[in-house]
Structure 1
């Protein structure tokens, strides 16, 4: 993302994918599955039991929502939100394990994993961390080179995924504040998580139709997104998601799976 430069991609004016983090044992997954078109399903390393994940995959298949593997550091105590130094072989093995396990669960109920999205601290780390970004790309390619990788635009992981021949899905966040550099404001900082449904919906329409968004310091940045994340574990999450869906409809934006 770069400051004050509008996108000319016509997809930003007519079509957007909505995704949510599900299977974590928090929030109202059933309600979110009536709104989103993509489900980032936990893989057990930061949250979720095998029974929970199987039920989530079953519900996603029934709702016609595509399934993505939301991979994480092995950090259930910290909900995957703490950075971890890991060797490349160890991280690759953990990622392959998670993707493969979730895909087996999904296939058992008539679905399949079609993309991979890092969770929490791993997501933010691979925006710039070359070694861990490479590990994600290697793991995805080794499991199934037809899988897409979802992440922040201009991130190291998406750049390396593209160079490796993998499909990528660029993502923006409905309820998170952005820095002027186009990265997410850390959750530890004031104003990092938005709570007003109307404001969240307005911002999503703005970024979807114009490719622009106001950063936390008031500057205008570009946001090139194929998919918008609607967090399911924040207070009022379902109300936020419904407000976003209704606002996109009024703006004439089709909500549908990304083409990647």
Structure 2
């Protein structure tokens, strides 16, 4: 009997981190289905939130909060050790901040994706993920949490009854434990378009990814992240959007 092939989801979400001061947001927006908007701590302010929300509404892109550490100097990519109460307030405050701006524009937050160091720490830390999920649930239990595939973020959110979307990355390499290669390492980013497209198709159609060491590991791909601050951000977004369409995959919010 032939081996059972993994079920291919004919719908895939394509998300991008936005409102972070990059000049490419308006060019990328037509190619994505979800925008993760910086809430003022690691990047952005009320003006950038308003601008990005307005863009998302124009292109019918789902609006998400992108909360990170209060650390604009390091773009939220430096790990911090905070108390449970501090982590809770960090998330809740940023969600309230973005929600207030959304309400002024008749918009609605649909998902949450932690940013940078906070995201990576939570992916491997059950307790931190639980605090983040608790803050989201207490703020708005209807929100969907975007987290690294097979990570504690997904498990903690699911345990609390939150909706989840397992995230994979088009422009980042993977380690054998399914984690992202740290940005401190030289091979962390994929800057070749063909390589990025190959990885995207492998993740979406086979639900697996090849690590930096050549090992294949299983993942769950429900939403694909593109980084808006990458050198080839617009070209990557355009190419990924086109390639997914050519493989009969519909891009829509999860």
Aligned to 1:34, what secondary structure does the other structure show?
helix
Maintained 8 Å contact 2:68/2:114: yes
Contact kept in structure 2, 1:61 and 1:109, CA below 8 Å: no
In 2: Cα distance, 1:236 partner to 1:182 partner:
24
Question: Structure 2: which 5+ residue stretches go unaligned?
Answer: none
Q: How does 1:1-260 map to 2 (within 5 A)?
A: 8-11=6-9, 14-258=10-254
Q: How many residues align?
A: 252
Aligned-residue Cα RMSD (Å) equals: 1.4
Query: Are the counterparts in 2 of residues 7 and 224 from structure 1 also a CA contact under 8 Å?
Result: no
Provide TM-score, normalisation by structure 1: 0.94
Q: Residues 113 and 98 (structure 1 numbering): CA distance in 2 closer, same or farther, change over 3 Å? A: same
SS at match of 1:126: helix
Query: What is the distance in 1 between the residues matched to 2:201 and 2:86?
Result: 40
Structure 1 residue 219 displacement after superposition: 0.7
Unpaired runs of 5+ in structure 1? none
1:20-56 deviation digits (Å, cap 9, x = unpaired): 0000001400011110000000000000011111111
Partner SS for 1:229: strand
Instruction: Tell me: higher relative CO, structure 1 or 2? Use CA pairs within 8 A at least 6 residues apart.
Output: 1
CA distance in 2: counterparts of 1:164 and 1:134, whole angstroms: 8
- CA–CA distance in structure 2, aligned partners of residues 202 and 75 of structure 1: 34
Whether contact under 8 Å (2:8, 2:204) holds in the other structure is no
Q: Is the 8 A contact 2:8 2:206 kept in 1?
A: no
Moved over 4 A (4+): none
Residues in 2 aligned to 1:227 and 1:7: alpha-carbon distance in whole angstroms: 20
Residues 42, 53 of structure 1: 8 Å contact kept: yes
What is the TM-score of this pair, normalised by structure 2?
0.96
Q: Is the 8 A contact 1:18 1:228 kept in 2?
A: yes
